[in-house]
Amino acid sequence: MKVAIYCRLSREDDDKLHENDESESIQNQKSMLINYAIENNLDIYNIYCDEDYSGIDSGRPEFNRLLDDAKQHKFDIVLCKTQSRFTRDMEIVEKYLHNKFIEWNIRFVSLVDHVDTLDKGNKKSRQINGLINEWYLEDLSENIRKTFDSKRQQGLHIGSFVCYGYQRCENNKNRIVIDKEAAKVVKLIFNLYEQGNGVTKIAESLNEQRVLTPTKYKMSKGLNFKNQGKNIEYWTESTITKILKNEIYIGNMVQGYNKKLSYKSKKRVTQPKSKRIIVPNTHEPIISKEQFYNVQKIFQSKTRKCKNGEVHLFANKLVCKDCGNKLYKCKNDKGYIYFSCKASKKLYGTCTPHSIGYENLKNLVTEKIKEKILAYYDFDNVSDDLFVVQENLNKLKLLDDKKNLLVQDMESINNAIKELYLNKANGKIDESSFNDLNSSFLSDKKAKQNEINQIKISLANLKEKELNSKFIQEQQEKIINKFKDFKELDYSIVNSFIDYIEIGDKNKTKNSQDVIIHWNF
């Protein structure tokens, strides 16, 4: 039979001596698995190794190559040191160990924790292992987050890169100092805006002077900085606006701008100002507080509103699908109101208009919000999010069953210890044998007690997660109920339901246009 060996080492347990050396841990995994294959007369088809990848990461290259080969049945067995080396994601355990591998006639074996999919009675143990492995990563992620938040609250800088205008202190990586060259540009931006120049005009001026953008400037300094935005060559209104509104320039450390959705997702969401961590007076300011707050007042006075004094219907919600810039409200000579990508205008002309009519967009968004409200009450089309609570309940039951088994084991150990003492008292066992057995029982009892304690902590965390899931659902329900019978779209409705809307360019051939709504829930 042919066997595929899979090894994995994450960044957390990396013990490489040199950057280009293969890890000792990987070597040990290989050695153990190769020896097992040889001893059991198994033909090794291939060895797949992923280094510097977490067990929750489904994008591991060698992992996915193994799955592709498994699908084509190029081997009969997948062999790992432990189940957690293969994955720490419970969903992947269920998908492959208990479904796809069975479908493909592939057997999964891990040596240390005795996992073998050929043993049907072993399934519950695999599921419990999967849950514990996943909870380990969840707890690790939470502990790291708490550590980082603690440092943030102390005013220590923990980001990989320092905000434009500053650089990392040579003697203390958690402190920042002024970068004189970039600080000149920051001061210029504040001065120009305070003098009455708008963000568009400031961007135009910097582009004409060929001043390097923050991203290009960091790259010019040899930093491996990657900007998630699509435009790094030119200054944009959004870049200017972010600088003008950033309190870091008055000496306040501002961190926690965005947050990962979960330890299993790479997607990050922008945090509101109320959830950011701001610590005042942690470093030397570039801009005076007087100038900074004066600029904020100017910003407020320039907030665009409709004639009735209300905030614009799609204010700060429309984004160009191709360049990432905002779409702005326009009006032609005939009074037709539409939205157009600002990057297609006079700033640097690198994008097409992506224009869409105001009424067309309003009607479309109205229709989609009403569809979302109807879908909420359509129980034949329930969102996956509503199954979160049930999933947590299933995990709770599995964990509670595991705890009950351990409690029963503890009772058996206690009875055995009692019996041992009786045998000693009756002279049925000598002192030496008693000490050996008693020590073994007590050690086993301590290990099981520790496991029970860990399960109790996991149960408490899971119950808290269940309550949070219910809270989120209740908030969604409040929004749905509040606007379920709305007649006319307004900004409060748009803001409650929608994070932002991507507007694509018109396809004149097909007479179509992409409008992608990103919902708040």
Per-residue pLDDT tens digits for 351-362: 888 899 999 999
Cα gap 341→504, rounded to integer Å: 10
Q: What is the mean pLDDT of residues 253-261?
A: 72
* Nearest of 118, 50, 132 to residue 88 by alpha carbon: 132
For the chain, how big is the Rg over CA atoms in Å?
30
Cβ–Cβ contacts within 10 Å for residue 70, how many?
Answer: 21
Is residue 301 over pLDDT 80? Answer: no
167 and 188 in contact (C-beta within 8 Å)?
Answer: no
**Pairing status of strand 327-331 against strand 337-341:** antiparallel
Q: How far is CA 489 from each of CA 150, 363, 368, 518, rounded to the nearest angstrom?
A: 43, 9, 11, 17
- Amino acid code (one letter) for 104: W
Cα gap 212→207, rounded to integer Å: 8
Q: What is the mean pLDDT of residues 349-377?
A: 87
Cα gap 356→503, rounded to integer Å: 8
Which tens digits make up the pLDDT trace of 314-342? 877 898 888 888 888 888 888 899 999 88
Cα gap 47→26, rounded to integer Å: 11
Cα gap 147→136, rounded to integer Å: 16
Mean pLDDT for the chain? Answer: 80
H or E element, residue 429? none
State the pLDDT at residue 347: 52
Q: What percent of the chain has pLDDT over 70?
A: 78
Q: What is the mean pLDDT of residues 398-408?
A: 85
Is residue 157 over pLDDT 60? Answer: yes
Least confident of 44-58, 260-274, 327-341: 260-274
Cα gap 140→123, rounded to integer Å: 26
State the pLDDT at residue 224: 67
Is residue 158 over pLDDT 60? Answer: yes
Q: Tokens 């013990």 sit at which residue?
A: 15
- Amino acid code (one letter) for 449: Q
Q: What φ, ψ does residue 182 adopt, rounded to 5°?
A: -75, -30
Kindly list the strands in the beta sheet with 115-116, ordered across the sheet, starting from the edge strand earlier in the chain.
43-51, 2-9, 77-80, 107-110, 115-116
Structure-token pair, residue 345: 């205008």
278 and 152 in contact (C-beta within 8 Å)?
Answer: no
Is residue 275 over pLDDT 80? Answer: no
Helix, strand, or coil (residue 339): strand
State the pLDDT at residue 387: 47
Q: What φ, ψ does residue 91 adopt, rounded to 5°?
A: -65, -40
Helix, strand, or coil (residue 325): coil
Split at pLDDT 50, 70, 90, the class of 306 is low
Least confident of 142-146, 191-195, 452-456: 142-146
Split at pLDDT 50, 70, 90, the class of 249 is very high
Question: 191: which residues sit within 8 A by CB, 6+ positions away?
Answer: none
Q: Tokens 């919600």 sit at which residue?
A: 317
**Pairing status of strand 258-260 against strand 318-320:** unpaired
* Nearest of 255, 269, 284 to residue 157 by alpha carbon: 255
Is residue 121 over pLDDT 70? Answer: no
Q: Tokens 């891990």 sit at which residue?
A: 110
Cα gap 361→330, rounded to integer Å: 14
Q: What is the length of the chain?
A: 521
**Pairing status of strand 356-357 against strand 498-507:** unpaired
Split at pLDDT 50, 70, 90, the class of 386 is very low
- What are the respective helix, strand and coil percentages of the chain, to the nearest 5? 50, 15, 35
Cα gap 506→246, rounded to integer Å: 36
Cβ–Cβ contacts within 10 Å for residue 339, how many?
Answer: 23
174 and 160 in contact (C-beta within 8 Å)?
Answer: no
First to last CA, the chain: 49
* Nearest of 369, 360, 358, 381 to residue 485 by alpha carbon: 369
State the pLDDT at residue 93: 84
Is residue 210 over pLDDT 70? Answer: yes
State the pLDDT at residue 255: 82
Q: What is the mean pLDDT of residues 267-280?
A: 72
Structure-token pair, residue 263: 């330890």
In eight-state DSSP terms, residue 311 is: B
Split at pLDDT 50, 70, 90, the class of 145 is low
Q: What is the mean pLDDT of residues 172-191?
A: 91
Split at pLDDT 50, 70, 90, the class of 504 is very high
